[in-house]
Amino acid sequence: MGWSSILKSLLTVFVLSILAVCSVESYTCIQATCENGNCLGGTRTCPTSYSCFSQIQKLETPSPDTNLVLEQKGCASYQNLCALEFSATLGNRQKFRYKTQCCTGEQCNKENLTLPPLSSEVNGVECPACYNNKTNTCSTTTPLKCTGAEKRCIEVTSRDLSSNIVMYGKGCATENACALYMTVFNNIQIKTSCISTNGSPALKSAASLPVILLLQKILL
């Protein structure tokens, strides 16, 4: 095949996929923003041709005044908004949970998302933990026994895009919380990375073992 025919077939595929996307039936989704249970601006609908999303973000802190639950629903125009769930517990008992999912169908995001109950069962991983809402470092850390599915040690930097307040923390998190660069609570930019510790090397090597075996089989 010459280049022009390859390009021609690529173009055909491209045009066909656009047609396929455009011919998807459009429907409406529930659109709402609720802060601590108060839905601001009531509930409306929006038209979509991709999908509806629901999202819940929950911050639990030692003081009830700084706790925050943000629930959002609306029309998702691209894949990125769909299917992300993670949780992290930083020093000073700051716990953040995030869940977003998409669905297709007329007002399919009507139901509220719920978060699974928190597990208090220690899982054997221990991470250095700290929390600092003034600068982006911690001078000291204290060991934190991780619970439930939070089996990775994490480091989080955040910046409030409106007030420029920075925060830095370390603690335990779920695998999905590693390597995020995103906005939470609409205007807080977070950047995360997982720290390897000697707490759980067994987990890592167990996960890569099948890959190594497979590679050996292929190479031999």
Ligand X SMILES: *[C@@H]1O[C@H](CO)[C@@H](O)[C@H](O)[C@H]1NC(C)=O
CB of 109 to ligand X, least distance (A): 10
DSSP 67: -
User: Which structure tokens are listed for 8?
Assistant: 């021609």
71 versus 150: smaller Cβ distance to ligand X:
71
What are phi and psi for residue 20, nearest 5 degrees?
-65, -45
CB closer to ligand X out of 33 and 176: 33
141 part of the interface to ligand X, by CB under 6 A: no
DSSP state of 170: E
- The tokens describing 87, both together, are 């949780």
Please pick, from the candidates 34, 108, 178, 194, the single residue that binds ligand X as defined by CB under 6 A.
34
* 14 phi, psi to nearest 5 deg: -60, -50
* Distance in Å, CB of 41 to ligand X, minimum: 12
Show the binding pattern over residues 78-107: x = contacts ligand X (CB under 6 A), - = does not.
--------------x---------------
CB 194 within 8 A of CB 153: yes
Per DSSP bridges, beta strands 142-147 and 152-160 are unpaired
Cα 7 to Cα 13: distance, rounded to the nearest angstrom = 10
Please give the size of the binding site for ligand X, defined by CB under 6 A. Answer: 9
Comparing CB distances to ligand X, the nearer of 15 and 39 is 39
Kindly state whether residue 112 participates in binding ligand X, applying the rule CB under 6 A.
Answer: yes
Query: Is 66 a residue that touches ligand X (CB under 6 A)?
Result: yes
Complex with ligand X: residue 2 or 42, whichever CB lies closer: 42
| 67 lines the binding site for ligand X (CB under 6 A) | no
Work out the burial of residue 69: count CB atoms within 10 Å of its CB; fewer than 13 is exposed, 13-18 middle, 19 or more buried: middle
Residues forming contacts to ligand X in the complex (CB under 6 A) are 34, 37, 39, 66, 71, 92, 111-112, 133
